Structures are given as C-alpha cells and as structure tokens.
C-alpha cells in the first residue's frame, strides 16, 4: 500500500503502513569481509546488492551507515577500501575499514624497533611506517643479514629488492614482534620468531637463560581457519600461533605469552565502536550538506523541496537517544507543524514555544545533533566465522546483533560454537532481514498513539 500522509492539517499524527521518506538510520551495520563479501579473488554475488540496499536502494528510503571489520590485512586500509569499492561498485573509504592490524597503531609510542611479520614483500613494513612506527624490520632483512638463519630458503631477486641490507641484527635489538598478516613463509618466519622469543633481549644469535627476556609478540588476529575460493577452509594466523606456542613450549618448557588483536578481542571491539561513531557522524554530516544545498537552491517560500508530494515529512535522521525501544527522529522541514505532535529529536529546551520550533529541526540543530550523536540503536554484525565474528558481536555490548551467514567458514548442518542471534543464507538476506526488522520497530513507534486517517487523507 502507498505511504499515507503522516500529519493531518491540525497536526494530528496519522497512522501509516510504511515509512519511506529519506532519512539516515539510527542503526548501523558492520561486516566481516572474507566469507561474507569476498572469497579470495571472487566477490560473493549477493554483496553488491546488500550494500546498495544500505546506501538507500530499499523500499523505505533509509540510508544505513556501515563499516567493515576484517581480521585480514597485509595492505593499507586505503587499498582495501579501493578494492572493495571496485568489486562492489560503490564508494568505500578507508575510514570505514578496520583490519586485524589497524589497532596496532596504538603501539607506535610503545616500541622503538619492531619486527613486522606477514604479507607480501615489504608491504607490511610500509603499513607500519604509515602507522607511525619508526624502525620497522621484516624477516627478509634478517635473512639477508645472515642467510644461515633459514637454511632451506634462499632469497629471490624480488626479496632482495625490498629487504634492508644495512642492518646488523646481532647489534639491533628487536623490542616487539608484530604479526600483521598471514605468513607467506611459515618455515622461515617460525624459525626467526622463535629465535627472537628465546633470545637475550631481542638480539639475533643469542639465547636467554630464562626464556623470559625476548621481545613481546602480538598477533593481528587468531583465526584458526578462514574462507577463500577453495571449497575447504584454509589455515590462518591462529594456526601459526598454535605452532609457535607448541614449539616454544617444546623448546623451553614454558607457556608463551601473546597479545591478540582482531575479532573477537575487546580492544578491537572498542576500536570498531569508535570508528563506527565517526563514520555515522560523517554520513550524517554529508546528509546535512545535501539538505543545506537543497534548501539553498529554494526560491519560493511556498515550495518545500524537502517534501515528497504525498507526505508531510522532510528528510529525517532517525535516531534512538538511548538503547531502549524509544525512537526519536530529527526532521528537517519548513512545513508548519506542531512539534509536540512529532517524534522530533529533543534538545533540553526543545519543548520551548519559540517560533523557530514550529519549523521542525533547523540546520543548526541538525549540526548540533552530529556532535551529540547517540550510539547506534543496534549494530548488525554479519560474519561467517562463529569463533571470531559471532563471539565478537555477542560478547561486548548487547546492542550488537550477530548474524551468521553460510557463504564462508560456517557450514550448514554443523552446530556453531557461538550461537548467532540470527542465521541467513548470505549477506543480502542478512541486510533484508535487518531492514525489515527495523522498519517494523520504527512503524510500531510511529503508530503508537497515531490515529486512523480520514478517507480523504489516505
Ligand atoms: O586472513 C583473513 C582471515 O583470517 C579472516 O578475514 O574478513 O573473515 O575477518 P575476515
Ligand atoms: Mg570471515
């Protein structure tokens, strides 16, 4: 059925069966990448449609902010964003992308000399420099310094092009080992990592007597397996961790202490919340600019370009001020309405009887809203790996809603170790499910206390 007018002439709120004026959602999405959006070189066919829906191509005209939280890495966030943009034919910015190693930025001021492991060539060295690390070494530098460190691997011409040739690792202390991305050479990387962990103060060629003097080790994530375009899952960084811990125990009799980032760790969750808040502000600011430019081009007081022909609403930011079921919405409209009859976002003084209040929300107030943005009412997290994704979304804040899809690690018929709030075939189904669920909630709130419209208003 078509959308009904929301307000009668006397400001009475009429019942609706669909809310479909342009607005920005109070809820948001976060997506895992491997096994949800891509599988190795292949793009999951449903992904493009899913993101188009969130960008506004949905029956309710709602724009939903979203970010990506992958345990993957090995390239700059900007490159990952560009690749997603290309594959999905949408604009993804680096501000929307968190990779496993992204939160390691916070270690920049903690360690002077770091060994960065994983990824192709010296890409991870460049990422670490970009994050602000000053002295960044990679295993290839050590292999060049002394090829006997890894007896079964000879540097290729490509390796030699990217490795540093000026470092004496018997005199250069490694303060921390940061495993940024999946190792491309497990044997060589294991050999070097273990030697340093057992070293005296991080110098190659030394052995600690206590095995407690080596550098600290950090992993960007601990996914044991992950999903590619091969039919079975592949071993990931979590598996490398297991082998290193086992070899360390076997050699020293001690348990290895590691620090993990990525999903499901709390640190990454906090980081993701910060990124999502910033991104929601960006989306809202862009929306405010759009509204401003539309209002700027208005020439007649009688014409409100923000209104649709069959509706009294203007463009709207639909925001829940708390994590309760009460939705408050910010409406930009020049139509005279009774503010008390509308679910308008309330500043502390929004009940005032000033003339201005009759104009709904002003741009200034909307700008203020971007500063005071309440947390997302619900964050739908779509992932394929119960141990990292579902656990991540279930563990840290009840406003996150986990959705497990069947296009990656999780296989239908198996029992997921961490139970999702909802399971879908693919990412498109997940988005449809959430949009419908949210629309029902929004509609129920609108209709609570609204009256049935007279026949002529329908
Ligand atoms: O190495 C990548 C992999 O372990 C998982 O990536 O996007 O599923 O978190 P993702
Ligand atoms: Mg995944």
- pLDDT, tens digit, 9 for 90 and up, residues 386-408: 999 999 999 999 999 999 999 99
**Is any ligand 1 atom within 6 A of the Cβ of residue 387?**
no
Integer Cα distance of 260 and 267 in angstroms: 9
Per the CB < 8 A criterion, the answer to whether 30 and 427 are in contact is no
Domain-located, residue 253: yes
pLDDT digits (tens, 9 = 90+) for 28-44: 999 999 999 999 999 99
**Is any ligand 1 atom within 6 A of the Cβ of residue 118?**
no
DSSP lists the bridge partners of residue 68 as 31, 97
Question: In the β-sheet with 258-260, what is the strand arrangement from edge to edge?
Answer: 135-137, 113-117, 176-179, 216-219, 258-260
Integer Cα distance of 350 and 361 in angstroms: 10
For residues 227 and 281, state if they share a domain: no
For residues 45 and 181, state if they share a domain: no
For residues 408 and 281, state if they share a domain: yes
Domain-located, residue 310: no
328 pLDDT band (50/70/90 cuts)? very low
Domain-located, residue 319: no
Question: Which range marks the domain in which residue 195 is found?
Answer: 102-260
CA–centroid distance, 60 to ligand 2, in Å, is: 29
For residues 223 and 238, state if they share a domain: yes
Range of lowest pLDDT (102-111, 193-202, 308-317, 326-335) = 326-335
pLDDT digits (tens, 9 = 90+) for 252-291: 999 999 999 999 999 999 999 999 999 999 999 988 888 7
Residue 236 Cα: closest atom of ligand 1: 4
Integer Cα distance of 2 and 7 in angstroms: 15
Run of H or E residues at 63: strand 62-63
Per the CB < 8 A criterion, the answer to whether 173 and 203 are in contact is yes
Integer Cα distance of 3 and 17 in angstroms: 7
Integer Cα distance of 334 and 313 in angstroms: 10
3-class secondary structure, 387: helix
Domain-located, residue 330: no
For residues 46 and 180, state if they share a domain: no
Ligand nearest to the CA of 239: 1
CA–centroid distance, 409 to ligand 1, in Å, is: 10
pLDDT of residue 52: 97
Q: Strands (DSSP E) along 291-408, which ranges? A: 315-319, 328-332, 379-383, 400-405
The CA–CA distances, whole Å, from 359 to 6, 200, 314 equal: 16, 71, 11
Average pLDDT over residues 345-370: 39
Domain-located, residue 167: yes
For residues 229 and 83, state if they share a domain: no
- 28 CB-near residues (< 8 Å, 6+ apart): 64, 65, 66, 67, 276, 280, 376, 378, 379, 380
Which of 233, 260, 287 is a domain's end point?
260
359 pLDDT band (50/70/90 cuts)? very low
CA–centroid distance, 319 to ligand 1, in Å, is: 31
For residues 93 and 151, state if they share a domain: no
**Is any ligand 1 atom within 6 A of the Cβ of residue 189?**
no
Domain-located, residue 422: yes
Tokens 């990422």 sit on residue = 127
Integer Cα distance of 414 and 22 in angstroms: 41
3-class secondary structure, 227: coil
Domain-located, residue 373: no
pLDDT digits (tens, 9 = 90+) for 405-450: 999 999 999 999 999 999 999 999 999 999 999 999 999 999 998 9
Rg (C-alpha) for the chain, rounded Å, is 27
Ligand nearest to the CA of 225: 1
Which of 227, 260, 293 is a domain's end point?
260
Per the CB < 8 A criterion, the answer to whether 14 and 453 are in contact is yes
Residue 71 Cα: closest atom of ligand 1: 9
Per the CB < 8 A criterion, the answer to whether 139 and 189 are in contact is yes
Range of lowest pLDDT (58-62, 230-234, 357-361) = 357-361
What is the share, in percent, of the chain residues with pLDDT greater than 90?
Answer: 76
Integer Cα distance of 436 and 444 in angstroms: 12
* Residues around the ion ligand 2 (C-beta < 5 A): 32, 34-35, 384-385
Q: Has residue 5 got a pLDDT over 80?
A: no
Average pLDDT over residues 114-126: 97
Per the CB < 8 A criterion, the answer to whether 125 and 119 are in contact is no
Integer Cα distance of 96 and 39 in angstroms: 20
Please provide the distance, in angstroms rounded to a whole number, between the alpha carbons at the two ends of the chain.
Answer: 10
For residues 194 and 285, state if they share a domain: no
Which of 260, 294, 316 is a domain's end point?
260
**Most distant CA atoms of the chain, gap in Å:** 89
DSSP letter (8 states) at residue 269: H
DSSP letter (8 states) at residue 376: P
pLDDT digits (tens, 9 = 90+) for 182-223: 999 999 999 999 999 999 999 999 999 999 999 999 999 999
For residues 26 and 149, state if they share a domain: no
**Is any ligand 1 atom within 6 A of the Cβ of residue 32?**
yes
pLDDT digits (tens, 9 = 90+) for 132-180: 999 999 999 999 999 999 999 999 999 999 999 999 999 999 999 999 9
**Is any ligand 1 atom within 6 A of the Cβ of residue 102?**
no
Extract the tokens encoding 43.
Answer: 């793009």
DSSP letter (8 states) at residue 239: H
For residues 152 and 33, state if they share a domain: no
Residue with CA at minimum distance from ligand 1 atom 8: 34
Please classify residue 241 by burial: count the beta carbons closer than 10 Å to its beta carbon, then call 0-12 exposed, 13-18 middle and 19+ buried: buried
Q: CA nearest 116: which of 89, 87, 148, 138? A: 138
- State the DSSP string of 122-183: THHHHHHHHHT-SEEE-HHHHHHH-GGGSTT----HHHHHHS--S--TTTS---EEEE-S--
Integer Cα distance of 139 and 160 in angstroms: 12
Q: What is the phi/psi pair of residue 439, to 5°?
A: -65, -40
Domain-located, residue 370: no
Integer Cα distance of 293 and 185 in angstroms: 54
The model's pTM is 0.82
Integer Cα distance of 15 and 448 in angstroms: 8
pLDDT digits (tens, 9 = 90+) for 68-79: 999 999 999 999
For residues 17 and 45, state if they share a domain: yes
Residue with CA at minimum distance from ligand 1 atom 1: 72
Number of domains the chain contains: 2
For residues 197 and 65, state if they share a domain: no
Q: What is the CATH number of the domain that holds 52?
A: 3.40.50.1000
**Is any ligand 1 atom within 6 A of the Cβ of residue 182?**
yes
pLDDT of residue 119: 96
**Is any ligand 1 atom within 6 A of the Cβ of residue 71?**
yes
Per the CB < 8 A criterion, the answer to whether 322 and 438 are in contact is no
67 pLDDT band (50/70/90 cuts)? very high
373 pLDDT band (50/70/90 cuts)? confident
Integer Cα distance of 446 and 440 in angstroms: 10
Average pLDDT over residues 13-26: 93
């Amino acid at each position: 059925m078509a959308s009904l007018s929301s307000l009668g002439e006397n400001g009475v709120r009429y019942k609706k069966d669909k809310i479909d004026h342009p607005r920005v959602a109070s809820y948001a999405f976060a997506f895992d990448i491997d096994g949800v959006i891509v599988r190795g070189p292949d793009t999951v066919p449903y992904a493009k449609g899913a993101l188009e829906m969130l960008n506004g191509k949905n029956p309710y005209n709602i724009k939903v902010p979203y970010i990506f939280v992958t345990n993957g890495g090995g390239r700059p966030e900007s490159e990952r964003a560009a690749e997603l943009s290309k594959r999905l034919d949408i604009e993804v910015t680096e501000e929307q992308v968190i990779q496993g190693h992204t939160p390691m930025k916070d270690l920049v001021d903690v360690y002077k000399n770091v060994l960065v492991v994983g990824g192709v060539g010296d890409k991870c060295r460049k990422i670490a420099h970009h994050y602000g690390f000053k002295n960044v070494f990679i295993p290839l530098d050590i292999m060049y310094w002394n090829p006997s460190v890894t007896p079964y691997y000879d540097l290729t011409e490509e390796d030699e092009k990217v490795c540093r040739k000026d470092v004496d690792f018997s005199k250069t202390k490694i303060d921390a080992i940061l495993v940024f991305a999946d190792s491309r050479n497990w044997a060589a990387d294991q050999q070097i990592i273990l030697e340093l962990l057992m070293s005296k103060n991080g110098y190659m060629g030394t052995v600690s007597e206590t095995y407690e003097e080596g550098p600290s080790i950090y992993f960007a994530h601990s996914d044991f397996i992950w999903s590619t375009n091969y039919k079975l899952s592949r071993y990931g960084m979590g598996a490398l961790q297991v082998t290193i811990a086992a070899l360390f125990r076997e050699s020293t009799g001690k348990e290895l202490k590691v620090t993990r980032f990525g999903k499901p760790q709390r640190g990454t969750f906090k980081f993701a919340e910060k990124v999502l808040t910033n991104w929601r502000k960006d989306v809202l600011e862009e929306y405010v600019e759009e509204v401003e430019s539309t209002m700027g081009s208005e020439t007649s007081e009688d014409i409100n370009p923000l209104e649709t022909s069959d509706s009294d609403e203007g463009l709207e930011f639909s925001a829940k001020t708390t994590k309760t079921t009460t939705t408050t919405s910010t409406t930009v409209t020049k139509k005279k309405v009774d503010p008390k009859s509308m679910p308008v976002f309330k500043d502390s003084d929004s009940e005032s009887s000033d003339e201005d209040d009759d104009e709904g929300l002003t741009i200034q107030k909307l700008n203020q809203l971007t500063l005071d943005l309440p947390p997302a009412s619900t964050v739908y997290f779509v992932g394929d790996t119960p141990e990292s994704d579902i656990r991540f979304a279930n563990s840290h804040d009840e406003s996150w809603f986990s959705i497990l899809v069947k296009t990656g690690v999780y296989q239908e018929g198996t029992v997921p170790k961490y139970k999702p709030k909802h399971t879908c075939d693919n990412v498109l189904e997940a988005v449809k499910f959430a949009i419908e669920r949210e629309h029902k909630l929004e509609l129920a709130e609108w209709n609570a206390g609204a009256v049935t419209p007279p026949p002529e208003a329908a």
